[in-house]
Amino acid sequence: MMRPSRFGFVLLLFSMVLGGCAAPIHRNPVPRELVLTAEVPGMPWARFIGDHAYAGRGNDLDDRRAEYTRQLRESGLAREPIRFLAVSGGGQNGAFGAGLLCGWTARGDRPEFRAVTGISTGALIAPFAFLGPEYDDALRTVYTTVETRDLVRQKGKLEGLTSDSFADSSGLYRSIQEHITEEMIEAIGREHWRGRRLTIGTTNLDLMEPVYWNVSRIAASDHPGKVELIHKILLASASIPVAFPPVYIDVVAADGEAYDEMHVDGGATTQVFVYPLTLNIGEEFEAMRINTEDQQLYIIRNASFAARHEVVEARSLSIAGRTVSSMIRTLGIGDMFRMYLGARRDGMGFNLAYIPPSFTLEETEPFDKAYMNALFDVGYGLAKDGYPWETKPPYFDLAEE
């Protein structure tokens, strides 16, 4: 997600003021009473919604546990240390996370992650992180060679007012199609059968809830639409509301009728996630007799936690943009607290990386190649030298006093 004050939320204000002129796009949304029953046709296992993941699942959940246990035992992963990776949103700041992963490889002690999750720009990093160092060159290319004009086309005012966004993200979609290849998706599917998981978050805007997509399971399936669906999930997770078009996903509800869901940037509901707190992963692993002696959670926050001073113009758009930037910053801090408390409850080590306050270069456009290269180098250098992972969220010591 790019800095809201620079682009996205200026457009948001325009839509609020002038939206009455817009011609609505025809939709067939899921009725309120059926929203929790909707699923992608032929893929009932493809996702779960917010904290509703385990509500009323019964025998289905038992079957999933049994399948997961079998996969881990057959692959030998049940005896291995557990390493989870969560990659946050941050727009072009994702160059930091990309650099960190590549630098970690260069250091020589980057682990294989049992599970990888991603939101927004983190969703674009996550497939490469999941498949490991073999894909570092492709990850570097994605975050050091593109420019705004490669990914985004700003629409004319009239077109923006009469459509569902002020910019066209078809360039971003083409980039996803180019770099997340069918071969790569098949490789992700093979890792799923070993007991590894890749999960991507989007936001169902009708429901105002996060949706977590089991991308590795989708990749492992023989569904003919899996490649297109994965590409749409990645695009949706990175689609800033109003700035970029929502992604409409076709679903079928319990009444047997076809509907559409509007999905946007996963960062609209959470900046980073690993698993719902309704799931006690420590107890789950113990019940499945999986080694829990060494569990570590790694979080890459593609942002700085330091408050950045900036004189705000006495204009409504400037005030709104700065306000939303502040809200996103504090949401990210809150996510760190949530994940830390969950990890501590579940007996999992907490390891946090984020953009250091010493990095003060300013971007000049939404996807500034010089800025992204500089940030990639920062992440790379820190990781190659042995990243000094934080073991608590920012400001947590103050909360304990």
Q: What Cα–Cα distance (Å) separates residue 281 from each residue in 65, 129, 344, 346?
A: 12, 22, 11, 6
Confidence of residue 214 (pLDDT cuts 50, 70, 90): very high
pLDDT at 1: 39
Alpha-carbon distances of 53 from 1, 7, 76, 271, rounded to whole Å: 26, 34, 27, 19
Least confident of 29-43, 179-193, 264-278, 374-388: 264-278
Report the mean per-residue pLDDT for the chain.
Answer: 87
Q: Which residues pair with 167 in a beta bridge?
A: 154
Q: What is the pLDDT of residues 276-308, one digit of tens each?
A: 888 888 788 887 888 778 899 999 999 988 777
The residue from 265, 335, 346, 368 that is catalytic is: 265
- Of the residues 120, 175, 237, 304, only one is catalytic, namely 120
Q: In whole angstroms, what is the distance from residue 118 CA to residue 361 CA?
A: 25
Does the pLDDT at position 246 exceed 60? yes
Say whether pLDDT at 23 is over 90. Answer: no
Q: Please indicate whether residue 318 is annotated as part of the active site.
A: no
CA distances from 246 to 77, 193, 256, 258 (A): 38, 32, 24, 18
**Lowest model confidence (mean pLDDT) among 84-93, 97-106, 142-151:** 142-151
Cβ burial, residue 287 (10 Å; 0-12/13-18/19+): exposed
Is 21 a residue whose pLDDT tops 60? Answer: no
Q: Which residues pair with 153 in a beta bridge?
A: 168
Q: What does DSSP assign to residue 31?
A: P
CB atoms within 10 A of CB 233: 26
CB 65 within 8 A of CB 284: yes
328-366: pLDDT as tens digits: 787 888 899 999 999 999 999 999 999 999 999 988 888
Q: Which residue has the higher pLDDT, 21 or 262?
A: 262
Q: What is the mean pLDDT of residues 150-178?
A: 73
Q: How many CB atoms lie within 10 A of CB 315?
A: 9
How would DSSP label each residue in 302-355?
SS--S----PPPSSHHHHHHHHHHHHHHHHHHHHHHHHHHHHHHTT-EEEEEE-
260 is a catalytic site residue: no
Closest CA to 114 of 226, 194, 232, 18: 194
Over pLDDT 90: what percentage of the chain? 61
pLDDT at 401 over 60: no
Domains recognised in the chain with CATH numbers: 35-385 (3.40.1090.10)
Q: What is the pTM of this model?
A: 0.89
Nearest of 275, 268, 284, 257 to residue 338 by alpha carbon:
275
Q: Higher model confidence: residue 1 or residue 255?
A: 255
DSSP 71-93: HHHHHTGGGSPEEEEEE---GGG
Please report the pLDDT score of residue 5 as a whole number: 44
Between 397 and 139, residue with greater pLDDT:
139
More confident: 245 or 233: 233
Q: Which of 322, 325, 303, 304 lies closest to 313 in space, CA to CA?
A: 322
Q: Count other C-beta atoms under 10 Å from residue 168's C-beta.
A: 18
